[in-house]
Structure 1
Amino acid sequence: MGRNRLVTVLKIAKQTLPRSLRGKLRQVVEKVLDGEGVKEPATINIVLCDDPTIRELNKRFLNHDYPTDVLSFPLSEGSSASETEQGLVGEIIISVETAERNAKRFRQTLESELLRLAIHGTLHLLGYDDATYSQRRAMRRKERQYLRSVGFAE
């Protein structure tokens, strides 16, 4: 675990978040990378932001003019981690405001929802997609698996 990996968490959201959250976000991303067999180096930035910020990014890069919960941007030159010397490089942008609404809606804690979104974003960086029903189901199974691995159950 942790070989040639750098996972950073940047908070630009105004919300007060638990101090332990950064470590847990790093831990869950490491669990996903290990669980998915990533042996290459990895550099992942997680940015916790607000709805206006994620809405602007969603509009600029995906042409969707609304806030969303999570966006993933692979920054590696190859299309997957195994195709580039630098390994997996990417950013995961999470809206804390949308995560708060989702947590209430699905009766989860904010911490659990933020961890789930970090897992979801990491899976996207690894090439998982959720465009179809079966793909969404597969990703949800993985999300639950990795949430359990860090002590959260849904």
Structure 2
Amino acid sequence: MLKFFSEEIDFKLPFPLKTSKWIKTISKSEGYDLGDLNYIFCSDEYLLEINKQYLDHDYYTDIITFDNSEEEGKIEGDIYVSVDRVKENAEEFGADFETEMRRVLIHGLLHLMDYTDTSDELKTQMRAKEDECLLFF
């Protein structure tokens, strides 16, 4: 089951039903079953505290993904998204907010499907996959 929440902020995801269908379609096209997946929208400060507490990182980020799956090929997790950071990134990259939000949402999903961005080459591959996924929205 796919759910959207907000934590300590008032945020409603634009087009939640269309977004849910899109995420489910991407999951299925990659050969994954979608289990319990939660997107939690929050502020920079809220996500910074999660980053410090669970990852021992003291910096702002747009997304943190926690993989809760116990079965191969099944997606389950919690994806925290800083709405503040997404807004700032949209301005910085000259994108509209909704497109940048979709990019971040799919970025977290790709992490749960074993895509990684730990090197320049892998970042390039992940960005290309994000671009491909955005075409299907």
Q: TM-score, normalised by structure 1?
A: 0.81
**Which amino acid in the other structure matches residue 29 of structure 2?**
G
Measured after TM superposition, the shift of residue 12 of structure 1 is: 2.6
Equivalence for 2:92: 105
| RMSD after superposition | 1.7
Query: Sequence identity, in percent?
Result: 30
Match among 3, 8, 19 for residue 3 of structure 2 = 8
Equivalence for 2:30: 36
State the aligned residue count: 137
Between the aligned partners of 1:51 and 1:74, the Cα distance in structure 2 is 21
Equivalence for 2:20: 26
Equivalence for 1:136: 123
Equivalence for 1:52: 45
Match among 72, 77, 87 for residue 70 of structure 2 = 77
CA contact (8 A) 1:13 1:96 kept: no
Deviations 1:83-117 (A, max 9, x none): xxxx3210111000000000000011111111100
CA contact (8 A) 2:7 2:41 kept: yes
Match among 77, 83, 89 for residue 90 of structure 1 = 77
**Which amino acid in the other structure matches residue 131 of structure 1?**
T
Between the aligned partners of 2:128 and 2:94, the Cα distance in structure 1 is 18
Gaps of 5+ in 2: none
CA contact (8 A) 2:5 2:38 kept: yes
CA change 1:51–1:24 in 2 (3 A) is farther
Q: TM-score, normalised by structure 2?
A: 0.90
Q: Does 1:66 align with 2:41?
A: no
Gaps of 5+ in 1: 1-5
Deviations 1:16-66 (A, max 9, x none): 55642x22432332132022121x342210011101110011111111112
CA change 1:104–1:17 in 2 (3 A) is farther
Between the aligned partners of 1:16 and 1:121, the Cα distance in structure 2 is 18
